[in-house]
Amino acid sequence: MFTIENARRLIAEMIIIDKLSFKFVENEGFRRHVEETLILVEPKFVIPSRTTIARDILGIYASLRKQLRDIFMEEGYKVSLTTDTQNINYMVLTEHFIDRKWKLHKRIISFSQIENHRGETIGKEVEKCLKQWGIYRVLTLTVDNASSNDTTIAYLKKRFKHGFMLNGDFLHIRYCAHILNLIIYDGLKDVNDTLIRIRSVVRFVRSSPARLAKFKKCIEEENISSKSMLCLDVQTIWNSTYLLLDAIEKLEKTFERLEDCDTIYMNEESKPTTKDWEIASFFTKFL
């Protein structure tokens, strides 16, 4: 059954699901569509502004938040938590739980700014969030290997003495992907000189729009069909180094052509050698 309330909610859900900006509802095409469909059905329907749609979305969030909190208060599910803190002091807290029908759920319950990366600060933020959600039965907390997280765990054990299974002896779970990253990062030190030269040639190509345009022309002349484009890696995240090597390996002949047509190409010491290309190919498969 059509109602103005349902129509407004569907528009808000569309914004959420498709990750559209609030101002999408003020776009000419969208407004024309609504005027020729919804308003014909219900002349009293008013196309919401970006402010109104933002308010509607907050209303949906508040409703779903209350539903989820009521579930925890009434059902008392045990949850497992994961948390991470970014360099710009934002912390995300995610809960995982299995419902009565044995269905696994994952919900982000907090994305907040914190003062610093100290363990006690993180612990206090987690504590506040758990109390706000009415969560008092925690199985595990998965974090990376930062030493500050030991302090976080100690703080939470002190504050939730009776809320953790087995007195919290198995609360602290170390983030396996972070451990894997440290292992691979340590292994990549053996080819550090190769990686330095490869990063240098990528920086050279991306140093100006004109040079990047010339590089793209070389790709066309070599009839290379790969859609991979050059990007520098984050040196502490191994999978970004993989993406760098994977892209550059497919474009090796392009660099050779660029060297022939660019009069100020890199000096011999800085550019990748034949051995570097072989190492890049090998480590791409390895990573």
Distance separating alpha carbons of residues 171 and 169, to the nearest angstrom: 6
DSSP letters spanning 192-238 = HHHHHHHHHHHHHHTT-HHHHHHHHHHHHHTT-----------TT-H
User: Any idea where the domains of the chain sit in the sequence?
Assistant: 4-71, 76-174, 184-286
Whether 279 and 194 have beta carbons less than 8 Å apart is answered as: yes
Q: What is the pLDDT along the chain (287 residues), one digit of tens a residue?
A: 678 888 889 999 999 999 999 999 999 999 988 888 877 777 788 888 999 999 999 999 999 999 988 888 888 788 999 998 876 788 999 999 998 899 999 999 999 888 888 889 999 999 999 888 888 888 899 988 778 888 998 888 888 876 777 777 888 888 888 888 888 888 888 888 988 888 888 888 888 888 888 888 888 887 877 666 778 888 777 888 888 888 888 888 888 888 777 767 777 778 888 898 888 888 888 88
Q: Note the pLDDT of residue 1.
A: 65
In this structure, the number of other CB atoms found within 10 A of the CB of residue 181 comes to: 17
Q: Note the pLDDT of residue 21.
A: 93
Q: Note the pLDDT of residue 272.
A: 85
Predicted model pTM: 0.64
Backbone angles phi, psi at 80, to 5 degrees: -110, 140
DSSP letters spanning 6-48 = HHHHHHHHHHHHTT--GGGGGSHHHHHHHHHTHHHH-TT--PP
Tokens 């776009």 found at: 27
Longest dimension (CA), the chain: 73
Q: SS in 3 state form for 73-141?
A: HHHCCCEEEEEEECCCCEEEEEEEEECCCCCEEEEEEEEEECCCCCHHHHHHHHHHHHHHHCCCCEEEE
Among 193, 153, 151, CA closest to 170: 153
What crossing angle do the helices spanning 50-75 and 4-17 adopt, rounded to 10°? 80
Pick the CATH number of 76-174 from 3.90.930, 3.90.1690, 3.30.420, 1.10.3470: 3.30.420
In this structure, the number of other CB atoms found within 10 A of the CB of residue 253 comes to: 14
